[in-house]
């Protein structure tokens, strides 16, 4: 089976790639993350992924757009509940690309993160699969999260300090300064 793995970052992707390969699934990475800001952060995560992909001979499709304005326009109406829009942007594009480029299925490294809304992402991915007529390869990668982080530290990957969007960076600032409990 050929699957298109949406990748949010190399620290999250490495164990997803390893475990899918262990299942004899042919994996291609897909970089599309309009949610990552500012550009320096976007570039650090993208470049780290490029290096990792080269090291493990992972084919990588890049939709390389730094898209602050389209992203903010998408989520501005309801910033508190923005993650659903963020998942939709990324997972629908992944499903569309998987269909257009002849993959059997798609999934995402987001499913390794204990910090994401796993059930919401799953529901979005299922909708994307139905919309584009391509299989969503569901895997709960969360038990591998710790191993992925360890691998990333051992290999000196770039490690981000917030989820990705300007709003998550703001939340980190507010929490660090105890402005919100």
Judged by CB under 6 A, how many residues of this single chain contact ligand SF4? 9
For ligand SF4, the binding residues in 147-176 under the rule CB under 6 A are 163-165, 167-168
Q: Which two tokens stand for residue 82?
A: 């923005």
If the CB atoms of residues 66 and 155 are measured against ligand SF4, the closer one turns out to be 66
Least CB distance to ligand SF4 at residue 123 (A): 14
If the CB atoms of residues 7 and 25 are measured against ligand SF4, the closer one turns out to be 7
CB-count burial class (<10 Å; 0-12, 13-18, 19+) for 98: buried
Least CB distance to ligand SF4 at residue 25 (A): 25
For ligand SF4, the binding residues in 43-102 under the rule CB under 6 A are 82-83, 86
Note whether 29 binds ligand SF4 by CB under 6 A: no
If the CB atoms of residues 42 and 103 are measured against ligand SF4, the closer one turns out to be 42
Least CB distance to ligand SF4 at residue 151 (A): 22
If the CB atoms of residues 1 and 179 are measured against ligand SF4, the closer one turns out to be 179
The most distant pair of C-alpha atoms in the chain lies apart, rounded to whole Å, by: 49
Beta-sheet strands, E only, within 101-179: 105-108, 135-136
Least CB distance to ligand SF4 at residue 181 (A): 18
Note whether 35 binds ligand SF4 by CB under 6 A: yes
**What kind and span of H or E run contains 5?**
strand 2-6
How long a stretch of residues is the chain? 181
Q: Alpha-carbon distance 39 to 71, whole Å?
A: 13
If the CB atoms of residues 41 and 95 are measured against ligand SF4, the closer one turns out to be 41
- Return the half-sphere exposure (C-beta side, CA atoms, 13 A cut-off) of residue 27: 26
82-to-39, 87, 139, 142 alpha-carbon distances in Å: 20, 9, 24, 22
Q: Which residues bind ligand SF4 (CB under 6 A)?
A: 35, 82-83, 86, 163-165, 167-168
């Amino acid at each position: 089976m050929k699957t298109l793995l949406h990748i949010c970052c190399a620290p999250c992707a490495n164990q997803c790639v390893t475990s899918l390969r262990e299942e004899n699934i042919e994996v291609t990475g897909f970089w599309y993350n309009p949610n990552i800001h500012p550009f320096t952060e976007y570039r650090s995560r993208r470049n780290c992924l490029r290096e990792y992909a080269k090291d493990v001979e992972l084919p990588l499709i890049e939709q390389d757009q730094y898209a602050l304005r389209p992203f903010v326009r998408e989520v501005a109406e309801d910033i508190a509940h923005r993650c659903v829009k963020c998942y939709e942007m990324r997972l629908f594009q992944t499903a569309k690309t998987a269909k257009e480029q002849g993959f059997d299925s798609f999934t995402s490294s987001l499913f390794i993160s204990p910090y994401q809304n796993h059930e919401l992402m799953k529901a979005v991915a299922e909708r994307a699969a139905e919309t584009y007529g391509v299989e969503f390869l569901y895997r709960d990668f969360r038990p591998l999260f710790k191993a992925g982080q360890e691998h990333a530290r051992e290999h000196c990957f770039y490690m981000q300090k917030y989820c990705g969007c300007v709003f998550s960076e703001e939340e980190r600032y507010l929490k660090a300064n105890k402005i919100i409990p």
